A and B are shown apart, each in its own frame.
Chain A
Amino acid sequence: MIAVSADLAIQVRDLTFAYPDGASALVGVSFDVLAGESVGLVGPNGAGKTSLFLCLAGVLKPRTTLFQVGGLDPRDPAQRRRLPTQVGIVFQNSDDQIFSATVFDDVAFGPLNLELPADEVRKRVAEALERVGLTGMEQRVPFHLSGGEKRRVALAGVLAMRPSILLLDEPSMYLDPRGRRELIQLLHTLGGTRMIASHDLELILQTCDRVLLLDRGQLMADGPARTVLADATLMEAHGLEVPYSLRGNSIA
């Protein structure tokens, strides 16, 4: 029996998930994430990165022998309902996540679902928008926002829930270089535990100390970002490439 540790933000043992059509998405995945740790999740398309995040957020229901996320067990329906207060997930496509008619309404959506008083909701919205640098855009409508702004609104909507764990799925997708740079700066200002799934390995290098490598639903590597991402044999075997900034180290 593995004990649940207070220092561990996430504990996963033998996590297995298959979609209703029988396609296996995750097979026997086990890992821990320490509170405050920043972990990158890399792997080719179809590796199971998004499925793993959806399991951690309580959307998908996998089979596991131990499952703890932010002190809650997603397998238990009562605890699963409390997960949004502990786990915030930013989806690949911001249009899927920004479903309200205005920026204010969207950021307020989560706090309102927590049935917080109106003043507290307004305070959280103001704080979240300030953290992502969108103060003053409360009444803007989503279709008038740029890709970078949409990403920030999606992040603000999650931050307003004040989760202890943040899951970011392909955060730099659809962003231009400036938007990507601003996102990296923003990620550095966010505290708490983070997991970032991305094909943008330079972004992973700049924001994460540790990397998990998934392929065909299985965990292939788990280690320091600079060590895992610089291993050319490992990276090529799993359809990835050593990031440009590490290529010198790899040759040496």
Chain B
Amino acid sequence: MTLAFTVPPPNSSFLGRLDPRWKLAALVCFAAVAATLHTLRVAAVALAAALLLALLARLPPRWFLQRLGTAALFFLLFVLPLPWLLDGNGPSWTWGPLHLSGRGIESALLLTAKAITLVTLFLIAQATAPLEATLKAAHALRIPALLVQLGLLSYRYVFVFSEELRRLRIALRVRGYRNRARWHSYRTAGHLAGTLLVRGCERAERVAQAMRCRGFDGQFRALNTFATHPVDVVAFVLITASAAALAVWDWLPRLLG
């Protein structure tokens, strides 16, 4: 179970060697632009650029595709009905009660391209630096310390809770429990969630006590070893310039038209 949360060890790829602050800033800029694109052609180019970055980052293909597939399960739920539900100008096809619209297909493809781009960028950030380095970089980029701390603590304790959940599930199984679609199963799942929640609250209390005992006063402090090199600046400029070019390509026809 805990393997689901693990990231591959940071590799020595071009992106893996970049200063996390510059890399994160560039990826966030690119993601912000990708999220606001309106035309399918530009979104497809943004997706191609993100996949090129993924190649440069040397993401393990299996790890990348598994996570992309999991994310796709969620966003396809919203995207797949669009061609059947969204109507508008352009071609459309009707088979009996089913109505398929060209605009719906285009919107679905646009959303899919944008979602895959964003997930790819997120996975690049995750795989090319340890999470704590990325979160410290976020702190250095003036992301509120509270969010950074929440991220770090969540990542630390997701493993502890998944272990707790695993133990609880074993405890259920050894007492003959099997997950079936019936009232008893729903009640048990509710009790399991409640137990995890209560244990989580108790643990949070103890962690807070342990933090206070080591002088924690609410401020996030970290030792950074970040150092800017010319290559970091060049990579940042290249990625953000590409994002800016995509934004201009996407918006200019609208502004002129």
Interface residues, chain A, CB within 8 Å of chain B? 54, 57-59, 81, 84-85, 87-89, 91, 93, 95-102, 105, 108-110, 112-115, 118, 121-122, 139, 142-143, 157-158, 161
Contacts and interface: CB of A to CB of B under 8 A. Distances in A.
Contacts of B254: none
B2 interface: yes
Contacts of A95: 160, 203
A154 to B, nearest CB: 9
Given A101-B132, A118-B223, A91 B211 contact: no
9 closest A-B pairs by CB = A113-B215, A101-B132, A110-B214, A84-B215, A112-B221, A96-B206, A143-B159, A97-B210, A59-B209
Interface string B143-165: 00000000011011101100000
B199 to A, nearest CB: 11
A54 B219 CA distance: 22
Contact of A110 (B130, B215, B219, B223): B215
Contacts of A139: 130
A112 B130 contact: no
B131 A101 contact: yes
B2 A143 contact: yes
Contacts of A101: 130-132, 135, 152, 155-156
A140 to B, nearest CB: 11
Given A96-B203, A113-B221, A121-B223, A59 B156 contact: no
Q: Is the interface of A mostly helix, strand, loop or mixed?
A: helix
A115 B221 contact: yes
A108 B222 CA distance: 8
B213 interface: yes
A235 to B, nearest CB: 29
Q: Is the interface of B mostly helix, strand, loop or mixed?
A: helix
A95 B131 CA distance: 19
User: Max chain A CB contacts within 10 Å: which of B130, B212, B222?
Assistant: B212
Nearest to A142: B156
Contacts of A96: 203, 206-207, 209-210
A145 B159 CA distance: 12
Given A96-B203, A100-B156, A102-B130, A114 B215 contact: yes
Contacts of A121: 223
B156 A161 contact: no
B216 interface: yes
A81 to B, nearest CB: 8
Contacts of B215: 81, 84-85, 110, 113-114, 161
Contacts of A112: 221-223
A237 B135 CA distance: 54
A166 to B, nearest CB: 12
A242 B175 CA distance: 36
Nearest to A57: B213
Contact of B214 (A84, A93, A118): A84
Nearest to B212: A59
A105 B221 contact: no
B166 to A, nearest CB: 13
A118 to B, nearest CB: 6
A113 B217 contact: yes
Interface string B206-245: 1101111111110101110000000000000000000000
Nearest to A160: B214
Contact of A109 (B157, B206, B214): B214
25 contacts: A57-B213, A59-B209, A81-B215, A91-B209, A95-B160, A96-B203, A96-B207, A96-B210, A97-B207, A101-B135, A101-B155, A105-B222, A105-B223, A109-B211, A110-B215, A112-B221, A113-B214, A114-B215, A121-B223, A142-B156, A143-B2, A143-B159, A143-B160, A161-B214, A161-B215
